[in-house]
Each structure stands twice: as structure tokens, then as C-alpha cells.
Amino acid sequence: MSRSPIDFKGSNFTFLVLYLYDTDHQIIRTAIEKKIDNAPTFLKTAPIVVNISMLSSKVNWHYIQQSILETGLCIVGVSGCRDEKLKKIIIDSGLPILNESVINSSNRNVYLSQSPPDQVKEKCKTRLIFSPVRSGQKIYAKHTDLVVINSVSEGAELIADGNIHVYGSMRGRALAGAHGDENCQIFCTHLLAELLSIAGQYWMIEQIPPHCFGKASRLYIEKGILTLQKLT
């Protein structure tokens, strides 16, 4: 019996969610371009979900969509739409309407999660990684913490629903609290990360303060603000 030419399988992907708070497509485009200029490696041609929950139904979606695409971002879907007429316009434009699991209004950029925080199972045993994490590798710790007892290379990505600990040089990306848990933290003994994120709030390498760069550091959210602390 010949094998089927296609197959459907479940998988885990993380997407930045772009929250829109203005209906002027030119303002939106300028704001996106400024963000991309600050973090070109991370944002240039990035796949995103556009959340329009803060906008009224009286928007010109075609102008907004075109302005976003002209920045180089790739729209994979739209979430937060409650207006049936606007939903049809979006679907007719070739994009799906997505149901976002987690909406955190304090964050302008959050990662699309697979289930709401109150549906996340009790955390499992911590996932331990003893070997170096090479460029291009992605490691995901589902419903638990992730501990790497080695170095993480530039271009590698760590994702955890819980906390992340790296006991080596951290040069890649670390995304803790992937389900939106703002109580999660990131700990690094040698911080050189391309990107650090907790519950969708993120810092790029350019934002790491000099006194923490290359040092043992702790990243956490305090009063809704991403905070980095040097560990002595």
C-alpha cells in the first residue's frame, strides 16, 4: 500500500501577538518599523498573530493589513475580533480568525499559548538538559521548568511554561512563562542572551544593562514591569 502524500500532525509553535491600539494604518506602520529597527534579528520577517480586540468594528482592515505586510512581518492569523462583518472581511482577505488562549492586556507582545493558565496541568518534573544546546535547536519544557546544565549557543531557543535556569553561557533565546504566567523567572550564570522573555514581555540583547551583561542575573516581572537583577 502506497504512503499518503500528506499528513496532519499536531505541533508546538510560538508566535508574537501584535496588539493594535490605533486604527490609523500609517501610525501602526511607523510604530512597527521602529520596533523592528530596535530588534531586527528577532522581528524582521517574523510570523505574527494580529490582535484587534481593542479596536472597534469601524476599521479599514485592508489598509491595516497592507501596512503590516509592508514592514516585512508575516501575518498568520487574526485574533480578538468580535464583529461578524469584520470577521468576514478578514477571512475574505485570506487570513484565518484565531481564538487566542491567553490575553494579557498589560503586554503589547505575548506568545500565543495552547491553553489558558487555569487549564494548565500541575507542573511536571523539571526538564533537565545536560548537553550543550546548539544553534538552531529548540527545547520546550511543557508545564514545567527547564534547567540547562551547559551552555546555550546563539541561535538556539529555550521555551518553558515554567522557569528557566541556565548554568553556562546563555547566548540564545530564553522564553519563560510561555502560557502567560508572570510569576515565572529566568536565571543565567553568564548572561549574553539574544532575547529574554517572560509571559511575552521581552528584552533584546541591546537592552541588557552593562552591569548585568555576561554576569549571573535574574529576570522577573515586578509590578507588571520586566526587571533584571544582577546576582552576586
Tell me, what amino acid is at 36? I
Q: What three-state secondary structure class fits 30?
A: helix
Query: CA geometry: angle at 97 spanning 91 and 103, to 5°?
Result: 150
Q: Is the pLDDT of residue 104 over 90?
A: no
Tell me which residue has cell 488562549: 101
Model confidence at 108, pLDDT cuts 50, 70, 90, reads: very low
Order of all β-strands in the sheet with 47-51: 97-98, 74-79, 47-51, 16-19, 109-111
The cell numbers describing 202, all together, are: 521581552
Weakest mean pLDDT among 40-54, 134-148, 206-220: 40-54
pTM: 0.58
Order of all β-strands in the sheet with 164-170: 127-129, 146-148, 164-170, 186-191, 217-222, 225-230
Q: Is the pLDDT of residue 175 over 60?
A: yes
Element (H, E) at 65: helix 61-70
Domains defined along the chain, listed by start: 16-100 (3.30.70.260), 118-230 (2.160.20.70)
For the CA atoms of 8, 102, 188, 212, the dihedral, rounded to the nearest 10 degrees, stands at: 130
* Residue 202 backbone zone (phi > 0: left; psi -120 to 50: alpha; other: beta): beta
Where are the alpha helices (H) located in 71-141, listed in sequence order?
84-92
